[in-house]
Structure 1
Amino acid sequence: MNRLGIVMLVHTALHRAEQVARHWTASGCPVVIHVDQKITNQVYSKFVSACSDDPLIRFSDRHVCEWGGWGIVAATQTAAALMLETFPDVRHVYLSSGSCLPLRPVQELIEYLSDRPRVDFIESATTADVSWTIGGLDQERFTLQFPFSWRNHRKLFDTYVKLQRALRIRRRIPEGLTPHMGSQWWCLTRQTLSAILQDPKRKTYDRYFRRVWIPDESYFQTLTRLYSTHIESRSLTLSKFDFQGRPHIFYDDHLQLLRRSDCFVARKIWPQADRLYQSFLTDQASAMKPAEPNPGKIDRIFSKAVERRTRGRDGLYMQSRFPRHGSENGLTSFPYSVFQGFTELFEDFEPWLADATGARVHGHLFAPDRAEFAGGDTIINGVLSDCATLRDYNPTAFVSNLIWNTRGQRQCFQFGPADTQDINWFLARDKNARLSVITGAWAIPLFRSNMNFADIRIEAARLQRIETKQLDILTSVWTKAQVRTWSLAEFIESPMEPLQSMIEEIGFNHQSHLTEAPKMVELSGFGQFLQNLKNQGMHPYLMGDFPPDDVFGAQIKPFRKPYLVQ
């Protein structure tokens, strides 16, 4: 029979380590525990006393274990040597941590290894074959020296790496070694493990690996290649890492996920996951069927989790991971429409559009005095207020929150050069934005106003400058929004086709063809108005060519009432 020995590296949660160790020994597996020397002697002594009644539990000499340092390898060597010396009948040694949890009956693991008495299970691949290294150090971890802790002395670590690169300092890899990397958690045969620990060149190898970065991922992975007769380059321990190279932690709600993996052992288990420890540290014979360990069955879930964590959801912003500018996964969560110049050209355009499309149609959300929500509301979904001060504090968040809180319902709002303009680049960069712009329509309210003509000329010049800058943004190479523009003259000449395309784009219309259009405002004399602006030294060019003889005004007159399209 192939007796299995467990080497356990413990750093925290000693009560859980004791619970798991007793679970191993209950199935006849001896356990050698190494406790991090950073644990106080008082706590360590209590832990040893608590386990003293179990003859299959031993404790090895202690080392200080720093992440990425040699101490973890030294701890593994010491505990493994004690295991081989104390329990001569052990044929496989399984390396685990205090946060590891057996997922299947221990007897199944013993039988699985008995059927493979000469197989070493250790993930071992050359640096050219791995893609999981984080931080830009793959081959360099074997050719540079790393005497400083990455976590405790980050500046010294980075500075020394840069210095070695600048001076082109390279370490010589011991003859006969080809550096390999892989998971720290392995299961080796006594023959292979003893050969590594008793190698005549061990001092040379140890001296070299002491200055390798994260040697626990390369020491045994490299030396096993010298002695093993049959390597399965995989770990029997389920250990998943996130995009930053940190291990995923399993909680109580991961119970079914862990069962689906069919793996023998999993790490890293949250110490307070009472349900996991209660479920798996019992008789599992009826709970799980014998199967080949297959962590790939749940890889899709982890990939989705990484994508959700790194990219988030379209249009959802969180304080905990607010994206850098340009790195957002969608500025908003749902398509929406922006109309510019339509409320100036058509009477009651907003209620007409709402009736024609079923969408929620707002007024000028970025009007200087307040956000004009549909129906005159002062607060809408998500407790968004119509207060201009709150809106202008972060206008991009205002739009993204509006769309997120109403996702599933098409939102439409009006915009123009008289509104707050801080939102222009956001709208241009948003792939969900659908902008329909009638350029120069801002002149219609001025034409119909009772202002002094000198003031009209000044205001017209101001609005034209603003709209010109806006159009430059909407036509830039960075624009991702769908933008359609018409000059005022172009739109008036043939209004039905663009109105029809807008209705179809929103997609909520119940009719195949538009049969009724909104009523256009009275524009008799508008051409002469524009000529007067020119005569006063202001050149209105965005609205297109309006002859001063009022040709367009004559065309428009018949359409003062709603008209039908045959």
Structure 2
Amino acid sequence: MTVGIVMLVHTALGRAEQVARHWAAAGCPVVIHVDKGVPRKTHDAFLAALSDVKHIRFSTRYRCEWGTWGIVAASQAASETMLREFAQVRHVYLASGSCLPLRPVEELIDYLAARPKTDFIESATTADVPWTVGGLDEERFTLRFPVSWKKNRYLFDKFVEVQRRFNLKRTMPNGIVPHMGSQWWCLSRQTLSAILQDPERATYDRFFKHVWIPDESYFQTLARQYATKIESRSLTLSKFDFQGKPHIFYDDHLQLLRRSDCFVARKIWPHANRLYEAFLTDVAGAMKKTEPNPGKIDRIFSKAVERRTRGRAGLYMQSRFPNEDWENGVTAAPYSMFQGFTELFEDFETWLARATGARVHGHLFAPDGVHFAEGQTAINGALSDSPILRDYNAEAFLTNLIWNTRGERQCFQFGPADNQKINWRVAKDPNAQVSVITGAWAVPLFRSNFNFADIRSMAAALQKRESDHMDVLRSPYTKARVRIWTMAEFIEAPMEPLQGILDEIGRTKLRRLSEAPRMVDLTGFGQFLQNLKNQGMHPYLMGDFPVELGIEAPQKPPRKPYLVR
């Protein structure tokens, strides 16, 4: 008794010939189905090339298109040829032209001989199948699919929509329970012949012809009717990505495939010469005898899928960049954004860099350019100080800056006059620490020498932009660490909020602050705000700021009277 190999071939016929000879040389009869889409000339040349091999046959040709009945019909025809032509076959192994034996064929023969009545076919109910991709589980059986999904996706979707709207459903024939699984199976002669010779086969075939992707359900369902012992697994190693597309194995997967201990793997790249040379070898150079265990490499594939779909935190790559909220972390490291501090303190950037050891930038998103720390014109990652390049994609500029300076805390200044396109990106970033003194944008206007009419106009515009920004920072979707003070409440007691900022940044060189950065002279600022009010512009973001400067030297308490004796 031996194992019969059914091969479904449609491309890379040269490799298919090489593998077919390998199976046949080990004593396995081979029946090959060549897709009807293969040109007649190519097909005839393929037949002629294998005409010298005694135990190779060819079956009736069908057009095999993904998701349609042709693949099942091809498997049926080739299996019938196998059972009819080779009476000594006990198990039939379904493979494709891109499958590659990973272990000596003799080991597969011995393995199946020790399990003469066991069927190896992945077979699970739709409720238990976690790998269906495309939104159709039970509906692939209850609806009809008369057109190809690949050739005419519009009509396919319309047929589904109409059947759902009018509740047009089919029932499984004879009450059988639908099962699904990998199309690559190995069935015993007894089970396979029972499926192909079933008196109800015409009924089942008629039903499954209008099932979506029937090659993943026809044999998987009917095997449950006749098999005495099913192992719900495939002996073929086949891996799929998160979109349901099969992984292709290349030369650099050699050691990975060795570790799997599987008998067969698909899909192999036709030009993977090293793989074909390594595995189509003699017994002495093959792998050790052991139970197939594809689970040993599942962790690697899981990591590959995670890397492709989620990537590394703060790194935007081709596979997920167009998809909103697919990022695995908005940015790569914690950073701090300060709004209103450089306007209120004269030497804030120098003081903060000295106190924390962080790299403290100016206004990175200022209209006139990127104000890098220490006046640099370029920074890690070849990020330029050009505002044109920055504003082409301001959000990407920020994420690139944080990614390229990992290991060093980045701090930068921001304000309502800057590019506001990064507001939501920062607000939704858990790595962001945002500290805002609202209304501080008015200090440069107060100290400027512009015409008051121009000041009033600029103040109204800046206040509107900062108000919109505060709405973003107070949004329920905000994930950043946000602290907001009005200018009036901040200048009453600046030491406590400054200490909190340093504690949160960490790596501070000071246990407790003994002095704050030098505050600008605000004498007359209250009257300036009152003047804006008098002109019809109401500056409300500063808080309750008195007309007279509220920062006054504490008055000495009056001396107590005393008597002189």
TM-score range, shorter chain: over 0.9
Q: Deviations over 1:288-310 (max 9, x none)?
A: 33222222222222222222222
2:463 is the counterpart of 1:464: yes
Q: Deviations over 1:401-452 (max 9, x none)?
A: 2222223322111001122222222221222221110111112212222233
**Cα displacement (A) at 1:230:** 0.8
Once residues 458 and 160 of structure 1 are traced to their aligned partners in structure 2, the CA distance between those partners, rounded to angstroms, is 60
Which residue of structure 2 lines up, in the alignment, with residue 435 of structure 1? Answer: 434
Once residues 414 and 291 of structure 2 are traced to their aligned partners in structure 1, the CA distance between those partners, rounded to angstroms, is 61
Long gaps (5+) in structure 2: 555-565
2:262 is the counterpart of 1:263: yes
Counterpart of 2:213 in structure 1: which amino acid? I
Counterpart of 1:234 in structure 2: which amino acid? R
Aligned length: 554
Which residue of structure 1 lines up, in the alignment, with residue 561 of structure 2? Answer: none
TM-score of the superposed pair, with normalisation by structure 2: 0.93
What's the secondary structure of 2:225's corresponding residue? helix
Counterpart contact for 2:251–2:273, Cα < 8 Å = yes
Once residues 494 and 162 of structure 2 are traced to their aligned partners in structure 1, the CA distance between those partners, rounded to angstroms, is 69
Q: Deviations over 1:119-141 (max 9, x none)?
A: 01111112222222222222222
Q: Where in structure 2 are the equivalents of 1:113-262 lying within 5 Å?
A: 113-262=112-261
Q: How has the CA–CA distance of structure 1 residues 518 and 5 changed in structure 2, closer, same or farther, with 3 Å as cutoff?
A: same
2:489 is the counterpart of 1:490: yes
Which residue of structure 2 lines up, in the alignment, with residue 444 of structure 1? Answer: 443
Once residues 210 and 120 of structure 2 are traced to their aligned partners in structure 1, the CA distance between those partners, rounded to angstroms, is 26
Q: Which runs of 4+ in 1 moved over 6 A?
A: none
2:315 is the counterpart of 1:316: yes
Q: Deviations over 1:127-157 (max 9, x none)?
A: 2222222222222222222111111121221
**Cα displacement (A) at 1:8:** 0.7
Kindly, what percent of the aligned residue pairs are identical? 71
Counterpart contact for 1:105–1:285, Cα < 8 Å = no
What's the secondary structure of 1:484's corresponding residue? strand
What's the secondary structure of 2:484's corresponding residue? strand
Once residues 238 and 435 of structure 2 are traced to their aligned partners in structure 1, the CA distance between those partners, rounded to angstroms, is 52
Which residue of structure 2 lines up, in the alignment, with residue 87 of structure 1? Answer: 86
Counterpart contact for 2:438–2:541, Cα < 8 Å = yes
Counterpart contact for 1:144–1:170, Cα < 8 Å = yes
Once residues 235 and 301 of structure 1 are traced to their aligned partners in structure 2, the CA distance between those partners, rounded to angstroms, is 19
Q: How has the CA–CA distance of structure 1 residues 284 and 381 changed in structure 2, closer, same or farther, with 3 Å as cutoff?
A: farther
Counterpart contact for 2:3–2:28, Cα < 8 Å = yes
Counterpart contact for 1:122–1:234, Cα < 8 Å = yes
Q: How has the CA–CA distance of structure 1 residues 534 and 105 changed in structure 2, closer, same or farther, with 3 Å as cutoff?
A: same
**Cα displacement (A) at 1:327:** 4.1
Once residues 374 and 438 of structure 2 are traced to their aligned partners in structure 1, the CA distance between those partners, rounded to angstroms, is 27
Which residue of structure 1 lines up, in the alignment, with residue 12 of structure 2? Answer: 13
Once residues 245 and 326 of structure 1 are traced to their aligned partners in structure 2, the CA distance between those partners, rounded to angstroms, is 21
What's the secondary structure of 1:96's corresponding residue? strand
Q: How has the CA–CA distance of structure 1 residues 529 and 3 changed in structure 2, closer, same or farther, with 3 Å as cutoff?
A: same
Which residue of structure 2 lines up, in the alignment, with residue 412 of structure 1? Answer: 411
Q: Deviations over 1:159-216 (max 9, x none)?
A: 1222222232222422152221111000011111111112222222222221221111
Counterpart contact for 2:416–2:441, Cα < 8 Å = yes
Once residues 513 and 297 of structure 2 are traced to their aligned partners in structure 1, the CA distance between those partners, rounded to angstroms, is 51
Once residues 149 and 137 of structure 1 are traced to their aligned partners in structure 2, the CA distance between those partners, rounded to angstroms, is 15
Counterpart of 1:236 in structure 2: which amino acid? L
Counterpart of 2:441 in structure 1: which amino acid? W
**Cα displacement (A) at 1:506:** 2.0
Once residues 551 and 176 of structure 1 are traced to their aligned partners in structure 2, the CA distance between those partners, rounded to angstroms, is 86
Counterpart of 1:206 in structure 2: which amino acid? D
**Cα displacement (A) at 1:35:** 0.9
Counterpart contact for 2:309–2:326, Cα < 8 Å = no
Q: Deviations over 1:212-244 (max 9, x none)?
A: 211111111111112111111111111111222
Structure 1 vs Structure 2 CA RMSD: 1.9
Q: For structure 1, which segment, 388-397 or 218-227, has the greater mean C-alpha deviation from structure 2 after superposition?
A: 388-397
2:394 is the counterpart of 1:398: no
Counterpart contact for 2:308–2:319, Cα < 8 Å = no
Counterpart contact for 2:104–2:286, Cα < 8 Å = no
Which residue of structure 1 lines up, in the alignment, with residue 59 of structure 2? Answer: 60
Q: Deviations over 1:326-378 (max 9, x none)?
A: 44433322221111111111122212222222222111111111111122222
Q: How has the CA–CA distance of structure 1 residues 510 and 54 changed in structure 2, closer, same or farther, with 3 Å as cutoff?
A: farther
Once residues 511 and 204 of structure 2 are traced to their aligned partners in structure 1, the CA distance between those partners, rounded to angstroms, is 78
What's the secondary structure of 1:479's corresponding residue? coil
Counterpart contact for 2:310–2:320, Cα < 8 Å = no
Counterpart contact for 1:104–1:280, Cα < 8 Å = yes
What's the secondary structure of 1:368's corresponding residue? coil
